Chain A
Amino acid sequence: MAEYIIETNKGKWEIVVGLEIHCQIISKSKIFSSASTEFGDDPNVNVSFVDAGMPGMLPTLNKECVHQAVKTGLGLNAKINKYSEFSRKNYFYADMPTDYQITQFRYPIVGEGEITIDLSDGTTKKIGIERMHIEQDAGKSIHDLNPTKSYIDLNRAGVGLMEIVTKPDFRAPEEAGAFLRKLRSILRYLGTCDGNMDEGSMRCDVNVSVRPYGSNELRPRGEMKNVNSVKFVMQAIESEAKRHIEVYENGGQIEQETRQFDPTTGQSKLMRKKEFAHDYRYFPEPDLPPLVLSDEYINTVKAEMIELPDAKKQRFVETLGLTPYDAMVLCENKEYAAFFEQAAQGHDAKKVANWMMGDFFAMLNKKRLDISQSPVSAENLGNLVELISKDVISGKIAKDVFEIMSETGEDPEKIVEEKGLKQVTDTGAIEAIINEVIASNPDNVAAYKNGKTNLAGWFVGQVIKMSKGKANPSIVNKLIREKLDQ
């Protein structure tokens, strides 16, 4: 991809960005308690005595959270650590009932990995994963119900999180955006996190620094917490980079600090400074012995792994002949890919892909429907393409048929049959229409014969129009030329 360079009248700069993404684990119960992870219930309903940090309560690890983490680690092409440890991160926080968070520190469950991102110019880039660990989420404070008080709801406290830390490999805002989309796609494929940034089930911290273009130095970074959309992440990187450059070019220094990105202003601001800096006093969680995974277990999870977007994309390109772009779009979403594969079954895959990328997505968009709610089934879309391939209907008629399908959900063959839309391939019938058109347009026939041969297209159009679109265009084309050239 083209390099992302910020050029001012004083010099050229490049950016160095790393992301830390918190992903809520999909599980029925919380990571260290057996209370429900259900979202949106009344306050403090899905709270056990463990979640409320009551005296003498102890954490117990949810097997499914480990399973989801290992799956995700494999999806990130990362090393699964057979030995990992839980630690306590100590700080006072109203939403955290024990006033420490159980997380992983020295020994995370997932080590280094990498994922490939797809960029708009068709190129790809590998982004390194530093590590991924599992930990518990905090509750939520509600600040707007009372002018002098905050209210605490612990329903979310204890929900499992995966924290994915990337290497500082991003050199452009677009790369960060592409990464988040790819990560979300992987998580959704695996069913380990629903990836909804606007609902907070995937939350992104962005670390930005800049350096003179071409240099290798690492300068202090601004950390922006909880940026909650892909778009805002890209904006936050841009604005933070600009801020750094301005400071440096005016002779100032950037201090490593925590900031908050405000989407309404497009700027970040410094979060309130504390009297003393945080000192989390991590130490191994004495209530949980080390987590040890066997090779056998890891292999079982490996065996469960489904085909992920990159592999699927490659297969679509290599064995089904799709363009890389179409394959990428179809593979970003597991449901799209599944729909496509079902529709393409036994039919012309490329044509099916074209139809999905065109009329089909346009229809879903227009009707504001999810693919699972599509009135046109995968099977029927495949059948429609088949009718075109077999010259039963023309591409143009197919659009009309699709229109009807998206209203009624009917089988295209049935529509074609009932409405009599079958393409006319009987040369006798087509010749009759041609003769009629030639007879009623002597001027144009003369013009054609005098060398205006591009009028052939006009004759074809007239014939198809008279056949109400049913005449097979290639037959019409062939016969017209034969007649006119006689």
Chain B
Amino acid sequence: MAIDNQTVRKIAFLSRLKVEDDKIEPTKEEFNKILHWIEELNEVNTDKVEPLISVNNVTLKMRKDEVTSGNCKDEVLKNAPAAEYDYFAVPKVVE
């Protein structure tokens, strides 16, 4: 499956990354090279193989319903590039 320029633009937008117009073509070429390499996986028939999701066979442990964190808004906000009135501030989001 080879990808086209429009797909590169779409992937860039989904990733919230900008690929300059003059870089679209080389990016596409590079991706196609990598994807072509990955497609060697198709040599193996995996129709009857269960995907491996969790490598260490643990099942999910659960936590007691207790409040043991939070109440640390200064620490939560201290690294924020823009915090105002104890909120994170961003450019106006148009609803």
Contacts and interface: CB of A to CB of B under 8 A. Distances in A.
- In the complex they form, do A and B come into direct contact, defined as C-beta atoms under 8 angstroms apart? yes
A45 interface: yes
Contacts of A48: 69-70, 72
Interface of B: 10, 13-14, 16, 53-54, 56, 58-73, 75-77, 84-95
Interface string A132-155: 000000000111011111111110
Contact of B13 (A152, A276, A289): A276
Nearest to B65: A64
Given A34-B66, A153-B87, 14 more contacts: A28-B65, A34-B69, A43-B87, A44-B87, A47-B76, A48-B69, A49-B72, A66-B62, A149-B91, A150-B92, A152-B89, A276-B13, A281-B14, A292-B60
B54 to A, nearest CB: 4
A63 interface: yes
Given A34-B63, A60-B63, A289-B54, A94 B90 contact: yes
A301 to B, nearest CB: 14
A42 B73 contact: yes
B69 A35 contact: yes
A33 B69 contact: yes
Contacts of B90: 94, 141, 149-152
A28 B84 contact: no
Interface in A65-81: 65-66
A275 B73 CA distance: 35
B16 A92 contact: yes
A44 B76 contact: yes
Contacts of B71: 35-36, 45-46
Contacts of A272: 94
A275 B67 CA distance: 41
A291 B67 contact: no
A51 B54 CA distance: 24
Nearest to B54: A289
Interface of A: 27-29, 33-36, 42-52, 60-66, 85, 92, 94, 141-143, 145-154, 272, 275-276, 279, 281, 284, 286, 288-292
A149 B89 CA distance: 6
A275 B89 contact: no
DSSP class of A's interface residues: helix, strand, loop or mixed? loop
A290 B73 contact: no
Given A48-B72, A288-B60, A292-B60, A63 B93 contact: no
A154 B83 CA distance: 13
B50 to A, nearest CB: 12
25 contacts: A28-B67, A34-B63, A34-B66, A34-B68, A34-B70, A43-B87, A44-B73, A44-B88, A45-B71, A45-B73, A47-B72, A49-B76, A61-B63, A94-B90, A143-B92, A145-B87, A146-B92, A149-B89, A149-B90, A151-B84, A151-B89, A152-B88, A154-B76, A272-B94, A276-B10
Contacts of A64: 65
Nearest to B10: A276
A279 B72 CA distance: 34
